Structure 1
Amino acid sequence: MTRDEARALDAADPLRHFRGKFALPEGVVYLDGNSLGPLPRETAPKLGDMVDRQWGERLIRSWNEGWIEAPQRIGGKIARLIGAQRDEVIVTDSTSVNLFKLIVAALRLDSSRTTIVTEAGNFPTDLHVAEGAVGCVPGATLKLVSRDQIAEAIDETTALLLLTHVHYKSAERFDMAAWTARAHARGALVLWDLSHSAGAVPIDLNGAAADLAVGCGYKYLNGGPGAPAYLYVAARLQKRLANPVSGWMGHAAPFAFADAYAPAPGMARWLAGTPPMLAMAALESGVDLMLEANPVAIATKSAVLFDLMRSIGDTLGLDCISPGDPMMRGSHISFRHPHAYALCQALIAEGVIGDFRDPDILRFGLTPLYLGYEDVVIAGEKLAAILAGQRHLAPTFSKRYAVT
């Protein structure tokens, strides 16, 4: 594709106007929004209001003027992006903490089911948290298996199948409905990590009869670095599951200040500490922006951007490890190359920001809200020029990554 052809596609893009809603630096092609979304222009003014008026003027009165309801309010908005009911999602803590809560809760639900099944090579925090969580429940074990062995690993001892919807390296996507049904047929629950899919690909938790889910707020939701995360519990399970992190905000009557803990009804029981309101404001700004976009247009453009980047990679002789079928992948594309780290750093020096995954993966986020077709063509041109002179690329990489 030529630059002129790409510009024509950009001019006809129904999502094109969203680009101006982000504070993207001039001369930079940003292909890492799958790791950290860029800054929405509305976020800074909203944070300014939070600091100057709500905190600065209203002081503690702001807790009664919208702060205390923020976890449920923002959770209800995220619910619209992931196919859930507004009373099934709440914003709280980090993805890691929420994983711990739900894993332990699932293990405690039925003492005859003691095993967590998950994919070897899953996102590390999922595995690390799962390892720690099983240590908190006597008799519980963690079973790591390859993707092609997951189905046979689910049996009558399985309490929970823990899956990441879109794989962080390859972008391979699980069929949520099919895998949920497979686990349910064996009597197990499923916990989905939506961190690399929410806001990028269609998700229908209720349509898939999903049980549990978590996700972060700082990737495709553009909530800022370290933005609060969210968790989902299907309505049918909310009375049966208990939060093992029994903090005061999850109490049925937090301001009664009772010594004994009594869990709040519904999703409020999954709260623990005081909501971080500055971070909440930034996340809400990003979520509001995402809700303005047509999800069908996002998915359609993501597929075209992928095909364009894939054709560039094919032309340059790169080994694409991401699925070709758009229904089987997320919204990033990954190539394997022996000098992937050096390529990533060379691209960054040229104003094209992608990222690297150990040991040899060059990964590009294809975020439709602000990424243009011409951006991808420019990235391809710079990649081609770097590869043409690849004798200068270092054959090894430093562990001190510039991009994570």
Structure 2
Amino acid sequence: MTHPLDVTDPLAPYRDRFLGAETPLVYLDGNSLGRPLRTTLGRLHDFVRDEWGGRLIRGWDERWFDQPLVLGDTLGRVCLGAAPGQVALGDSTTVLLYKLMRAALRARPGRTEIVVDRDNFPTDRYLAMGIAEECGMTLRWVEVDTTAGVSPEQVAEVVGERTALVMLNHVSYRSSWLADVPAVTRIAQDAGALVLVDMCHSVGVVPSDLDAWEVDLAVGCTYKYLNGGPGSPAFAYVAARHLDTFTQPIQGWMGNTDPFLMGPDYVPTKGIRRFISGTPAILGMLAIEDMVALIDEAGLDRVRAKSVAMTTHAIEVADGLLTSYGVSVATTRDPARRGSHVTLHHPRMQEVTAALWQRDVIPDYRDPGGLRIGLSPLSTSYDELERGLEAVREVLAGLDSST
């Protein structure tokens, strides 16, 4: 049955472009892995047959060599607020974070501290720990409420003349807190530090304006709201003012001035290409191209508007349906500070999530006791959302009756 809000939703027709949208499965985990687009099936087939199979090694000269930068420019325009020449795709999020963190520290000699919050995404924290040990740096931890996120005021308390880098998530993976990136950036830069923003949980669903915000560095994955598929390559943003002075630690042939000369020395090329190391995953970029084109067609501002509407609706339904079972909303109710997922807290949510998966209702779980409702506006319907929340209620009711 069609939900009334789906009937009036101007973006509802886009849902039919995603594989699996026609099935009864309830998918509320688009913030971890987006559904594939139907058109990507044809694109993959055509690529294997015509470009890979037909052009073979000639593909590098004809298109592939520049594809990480061409797609980077498109992604920058559609989703990041970045002018051309500052975004490149390749490697995983972890590898790109390592590259940019090391580049930032090298660009701030004599400074000894990295600022990171305790609720930053685990990979980011693990990297910060390892790089601090590797480079003889000190970590300055920001203690944050796990139902919220880092604030400008908290950053202002810890940055100073020893701070080399401030690293933060644009949207918190746990609580969905949307950080005030422009304010944090100003505070960090006023102290002489650089800012690195992890955009994994925001790119493609929350508009950004990296150039206007004067962010120094950013990284993000492409398999969540950009629907690139498992392991699709991540992206790196380096502000134009840093491109010809920053150097990165993984000196590969693709970032050399003349990669096909195969010369004896590494001389980093100019521009964002210097942050590419090895051969980029061209096949892994195909689905990203399709989704970025779809976001461009739909309009990111409209995507964001639906995201706000859906997360607001999810909170309202959860309040009415789940509060009596002891469920609380662990995500801010202020839409201006909220990403595109809602976290519901209950001490038995890990059991609930496992039971839901058995019923083809797919949210995900994050400790402590958090069930995340991930809402990808172009592929998720209101009907799907409400069926998922009703299933949460039914499972909780069953758990209550068994105790």
* Structure 2 length-normalised TM: 0.93
User: What is the rounded CA distance, in whole Å, between the counterparts of 2:361 and 2:297 in structure 1?
Assistant: 27
Q: Could you tell me whether the CA contact under 8 Å between 2:155 and 2:184 is conserved in 1?
A: no
Equivalent position of 2:18 in the other structure = 22
The percent of aligned pairs where both chains have the same amino acid is 43
- Matched ranges for 1:3-402 at <5 A: 7-24=3-20, 26-80=23-77, 81-137=79-135, 139-147=136-144, 149-315=154-320, 316-317=322-323, 318-391=327-400
Which residue type is aligned with residue 254 of structure 1?
P
TM superposition shift of 1:377? 1.8
CA contact (8 A) 1:104 1:136 kept: no
Alpha-carbon spacing, 1:244–1:336, altered in 2? closer, same or farther (3 Å): same
Assess, with a 3 A threshold, how the Cα gap between structure 1 residues 262 and 393 changes in structure 2: closer, same or farther.
farther
SS at structure 1 position matched to 2:339: coil
CA distances 1:3-61 after superposition (whole Å, capped 9, x unpaired): 76xx2321221111211111025011111000001111111211112211111121111
- TM-superposed deviation, 1:297: 1.3
SS of residue paired to 1:359: coil
Quote how far apart the aligned CAs of 1:110 are. 2.3
The change in CA–CA distance for 1:272 and 1:385 in structure 2 (over 3 A counts) is same
Q: Which amino acid aligns with 2:269?
A: A
Quick one: distance in 1 between partners of 2:95 and 2:345?
Answer: 32
Structure 1 residues 393 and 259, CA gap change in structure 2 (3 angstroms): farther
- Distance in 2, matches of 1:194 and 1:327, equals 16
How far residue 393 of structure 1 moved from its aligned partner, in angstroms, is 6.9
1:400 corresponds to which residue?
none
Partner of 1:47, secondary structure, is: helix
Unaligned stretches of 5+ residues in structure 2: 145-149
Q: How many residues align?
A: 389
Paired letter, 1:21: R
* Structure 1 residue ranges without an equivalent (≥5): 395-404
Hey, what's the Cα distance between the residues in 1 that align with 2:302 and 2:95? 33
Amino acid at match of 2:169: T
Distance 1:99 1:392, change over 3 A: farther
TM-fit CA distance, 1:156? 0.5
Deviations 1:229-269 (A, max 9, x none): 00001111111210111100000110111111100100000
The residue type equivalent to 2:96 in the other structure is: N
**Shift, 1:392, TM fit:** 6.0
Q: What TM-score comes out, normalization by structure 1 length?
A: 0.93
Q: Matched residues in 2 for 1:331 and 1:357: separation?
A: 16
Residues 343 and 393, structure 1, Cα contact 8 Å, conserved in 2: no
1:402 match: none
Change (3 A) 1:162 1:382: same
Query: Is 2:311–2:340's contact at 8 Å kept on the other side of the alignment?
Result: yes
Cα distance between partner residues in 2 of 1:253 and 1:114: 35
